[in-house]
Amino acid sequence: MGKRTRSQRKGSSPKYRVSSHRFPGANRLPSVKDEVVEVVDLVHSPIHTAPLAKLKSKDGHETFVAATDGMSVGQQIAVGDNVTLKPGNITALENIPEGTLVNNIELRPGDGGKIARSAGNSALVETHLDGKVRIKLPSGKSKDLRSACRATIGVLAGHGRSEMPLRTAGAAHYKAKAKGKAYPTVSGVKMNPVDHPHGGGNHQAVHGPNSVARGAPPGSKVGHIAPSRTGRGRGKRK
């Protein structure tokens, strides 16, 4: 009888909760309108790839938003319809001309921003339609959004963050530990046959079909789970 696999030993995961004592706050566009807010601080957040800017309004309310490239402490950020096309200002897509780079774009008016939020990312305003604005996403696809959706002008800060190599296994260990991830992980083909269904053999290979049913028992539910297709042709569109 073989041993339990890694997923069986781990068991079901609990509901994820953000450790609020470690993270400064959520990245969300301020709800104020036609107002000038001030950047009072630039902070690091372990769960965000881009640095966060702490914005403070006239009534003392503070909120966090992903910092735009070139943003500095003490900078004045205009929020509303009548704003200048300056990096960091926040306005609706209908007020932004074609060819402008924007970030932290709302999918629906008032949701606080959902698109182009990671470090160094931005989207391009392509054209204005009847009540909608077409933007080019970082993936290269185009998407039509309502003209009332807001966005931040400019490119997000933190470009090139992922280009620096980890260099040591210790750096990879602490990177995974900060996010609660297991490191290092061993693939099944490198294990003994008692430890994993893919283990054993004279060379490292699966040695048989690796597609399993959706309702397979936990001990054998490894590999390609209920795949539509596998092999070289997978992922191709007709």
* Predicted local distance difference test score (pLDDT) of residue 164: 87
* Predicted local distance difference test score (pLDDT) of residue 124: 98
Inside any domain, residue 16: no
In order, the DSSP letters of 206-227 are --S--EE-TT--TTT--SEES-
State the total domains in the chain.
1
Domain that holds residue 124: 35-153
* Predicted local distance difference test score (pLDDT) of residue 179: 77
When pLDDT is averaged across residues 40-51 and rounded to a whole number, the result is 92
When pLDDT is averaged across residues 146-160 and rounded to a whole number, the result is 95
Inside any domain, residue 86: yes
Q: Which amino acid is at 55?
A: L
* Predicted local distance difference test score (pLDDT) of residue 1: 66
Instruction: Find out whether 90 and 45 touch, Cβ atoms under 8 Å.
Output: no
CATH code: domain of residue 99: 2.30.30.30
18 pLDDT tier (thresholds 50, 70, 90): low
When pLDDT is averaged across residues 170-178 and rounded to a whole number, the result is 91
Inside any domain, residue 210: no
Which residues, 6 or more positions from 222, have their beta carbon under 8 angstroms from its beta carbon?
5, 7, 188, 196, 197, 198, 210, 212
* Predicted local distance difference test score (pLDDT) of residue 25: 86
Q: Which of 30, 104, 24, 120 is nearest to 66 (CA)?
A: 104
Task: For residue range 66-123, list pLDDT tens digits in order.
Answer: 999 999 999 999 999 989 999 999 999 999 999 999 999 999 999 999 999 999 999 9
Rounded to whole angstroms, the Cα distance separating 30 from 43 reads 17
Q: Is 159 exposed, middle or buried (0-12, 13-18, 19+ CB in 10 A)?
A: middle
Q: Identify which of 10-19, 25-34, 131-140 has the greatest average pLDDT.
A: 131-140
Rounded to whole angstroms, the Cα distance separating 121 from 154 reads 9
Query: Can you read off the two tokens belonging to residue 96?
Result: 């932004």
Inside any domain, residue 217: no
Task: For residue range 188-215, list pLDDT tens digits in order.
Answer: 999 999 999 999 999 999 999 999 999 9
Please give the C-alpha separations between residue 144 and each of 103, 125, 130, 134, 216, in angstroms, as whole numbers.
15, 10, 10, 4, 41
Question: Average pLDDT of the chain?
Answer: 91
Inside any domain, residue 131: yes
Exposure of 183 in the CB half-sphere (CA atoms within 13 A): 14
